[in-house]
């Protein structure tokens, strides 16, 4: 038997012989492992929060987001495990909040860590949800930049705007309820910064 055929290291030289499920790079595999694990953790923590949230509106947001995330998780798993186009495409998240933002600060008590589980309220749970969505958005962005498989890369990239939208939905809920206040600069300073950039004239390369 030829020595080259006997060398098990040579099995890695022909990716096509390894099957479609192995058309991933090393960084991609490890990043997807982190992404999928993070999304699992998000869904499990959402279940815990659901038992204690009091506001029906926040409950509706949580349920809506969890269902959407579960569907997208299944799409990611299929694309990752097969390396092929999933049977169901990624969807676009549609939030139920309007886009009205209240600007300015109102006096409030200084924040400090809660000292009892009984003190954890809807403001806390909405902040927890925001943190999870931000963390998963970052993980998805990192993984999409490392993905070599074109299908997986596209699925990840398409998922990022959805997590951004869900985080924005939580922000709007928090802002509406006074949990997340948005300060503004003085009008003169704001105007100076807004007018601090000008469009480029012409785009022809010299």
104 pairs with which residues across the strands?
A: 182
Asked whether residue 3 carries a pLDDT value surpassing 50, the answer given is no
pLDDT at residue 26 greater than cutoff 90: no
Q: Round the average pLDDT of the chain to a whole number and report it.
A: 88
Q: Which CATH number fits domain 23-105+119-188: 1.10.599.10, 1.10.10.10, 3.40.50.720, 1.20.1260.10?
A: 1.20.1260.10
Q: What's the CA gap between 144 and 70, in Å, rounded?
A: 19
Domain boundaries, the chain: 23-105+119-188
C-alpha distance from residue 82 to each of 4, 22, 88, 183 (Å): 29, 8, 13, 47
Q: Is a pLDDT exceeding 60 seen at residue 16?
A: no
Q: What is the average pLDDT across 84-105?
A: 92
The whole-angstrom separation of Cα 128 and Cα 131 is 5
């Amino acid at each position: 038997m030829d020595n080259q055929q006997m060398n098990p290291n040579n099995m890695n030289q022909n990716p096509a012989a390894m099957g479609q499920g192995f058309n991933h790079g090393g960084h991609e595999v490890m990043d997807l492992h982190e992404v999928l694990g993070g999304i699992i953790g998000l869904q499990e923590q959402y279940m815990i929060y659901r038992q204690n949230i009091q506001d029906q509106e926040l409950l509706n947001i949580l349920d809506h987001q969890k269902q959407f995330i579960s569907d997208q998780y299944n799409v990611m798993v299929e694309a990752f495990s097969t390396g092929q186009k999933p049977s169901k495409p990624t969807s676009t998240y549609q939030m139920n909040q309007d886009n009205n933002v209240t600007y300015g600060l109102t006096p409030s008590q200084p924040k400090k860590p809660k000292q009892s589980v009984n003190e954890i309220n809807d403001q806390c749970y909405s902040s927890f949800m925001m943190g999870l969505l931000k963390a998963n958005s970052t993980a998805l962005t990192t993984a999409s930049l490392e993905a070599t498989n074109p299908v997986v890369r596209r699925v990840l990239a398409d998922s990022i705007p959805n997590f951004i939208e869900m985080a924005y939905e939580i922000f709007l809920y928090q802002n509406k309820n006074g949990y997340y206040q948005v300060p503004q600069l003085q009008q003169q300073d704001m105007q100076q910064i807004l007018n601090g950039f000008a469009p480029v004239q012409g785009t022809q390369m010299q």
